[in-house]
Every structure is written in structure tokens, then in C-alpha cells.
Amino acid sequence: MRDPVIVTGAARSGTSLVMGVLEACGLQTGDTCGPTEANPKGQWENRGIIQQVQKPYLKAIGADPMGQHPLPSYEDLTPDPYRRLTVLDIADEQGIDTDYPWGFKDAKALLDWPIWNQAFPNATWIVTKRDLGAIAASAKRTPFMRKAPDWLEWAKFHEERANDIPNAHRIQTRALAEGHLNQAKEAVGKCGLDFDLMAVTDWIDPELWHE
């Protein structure tokens, strides 16, 4: 059995773009959320993990289940001893074969990454990186992003969390959207997959990327 690939980063930093690339190369993603106005090609969050694990945990520790405001400090995080079993049960219910590369994407996983790390110490972490001002600007114009008092400070908080994850593979998502694929190729390899150039270039739509 493999631990999952976990794709995370601040919301509006390109996590859906990256997850789509990995799925195009064969990553098992299970039952994922479909397109919205803000993510026309799909959100890619696993419905079961979002609704049964991530949001309930954030709510239980007094943080915003949407990951906007308030955000949890490291001191707010409490043990979640059943997380691994719960996630594996969800994967099994969704027909995911955990003997082969599988994973999920969630910006909110960045908020409690130490708890995810305890549950899956051998997970492959893929973290998105985008200009903080661009993240803040995108958050301001996205309908479901409405709680943070200062979006730039919110973006900085996520960047600091991302920098704390050891051995995470970082992907510059603006470069990826512009067709620079080296970091994505490396990420695909780290996930135990073969890079499919045709599928990846078909997935990436530069017209959907806004600065």
C-alpha cells in the first residue's frame, strides 16, 4: 500500500491546475468535485475527504472549515488518531487501489499539514507556488472567497506554512500555465507516474490563467 500524493497550496495558487496534470498522467483521484465558475475545468477535491475529514477537523479546532478566517495556529492543532483509517476507508469505497499511485488535492490540507504528516508519513507532497499579490487579487474576485480581512496577509500565512513542509516538491504554477513543464515532469516522476506530454498539454489552458 502506498501513502497518498497530497497536492496543496493557498487557494487560487493553481492547485487544481497541478492536480489536473497529475490525473492526466494516471494519478487515481477518486470522486472529485466538478467544474465551477471559479474552476471551469474542475476543483479536483475528493468529496469524501473534504466532507468527512478536512472540514470537520478544522471546525472542531475552531478554525474556518472554508480555510479563510479564522486560520489555525500550530498550537490549535490537536491529534486526529483515526485520520489514516478514515481516509483509507474513503479510498476503498471510491474504488481507489492504494497499491498504485493515488492522492487528493486540498488547499486546506496546508493548514493542518502536521496532522496529515502523522497520518501518512510517507506521503508525497506537491505544493503550488504563485506570486502572493496574484493570489490575493484572485481571492478578491472569487465569489466563494469572502472572509479574510486582508487577502495578502492570508496568502503570506499560507506561504509560510508551505515553507515548513519538509521535502515538498514545489511547482511554480504561472510557469506551468505558460507551458514550462520541467517542474511538473519532476512531480509526476516523484508520484511514481510516467509523464504524458500529450495529455498534459491538452489539459493546460493558458486562457484560464489570470494575473
Q: What is the pLDDT of residue 19?
A: 95
Q: For residue range 119-158, what is the model confidence (pLDDT) as tens digits?
A: 999 999 999 999 999 999 999 988 888 888 999 999 999 9
The structure's pTM equals 0.94
Reported as a pLDDT band with limits 50, 70 and 90, residue 41 is: low
All structural domains of the chain with their residue ranges: 5-206
Reported as a pLDDT band with limits 50, 70 and 90, residue 39 is: low
Q: For residue range 101-121, what is the model confidence (pLDDT) as tens digits?
A: 999 999 999 999 999 999 999
Q: What is the pLDDT of residue 5?
A: 98
**Whole-number average pLDDT of the chain:** 93
Quickly tell me which residue has 465551477 as its cell: 36
Q: How far apart are CA 159 and CA 51, in angstroms?
A: 25
Reported as a pLDDT band with limits 50, 70 and 90, residue 187 is: very high
CA 120 to chain centre: 15
Whether the CB-CB separation of 102 and 2 falls below 8 Å is answered with: yes
pLDDT at 193 over 70: yes
Q: How far apart are CA 49 and CA 86, in angstroms?
A: 9
Calculate mean pLDDT across residues 24-53.
85
Domain 5-206 class, CATH top level: alpha beta
Q: What is the pLDDT of residue 42?
A: 62
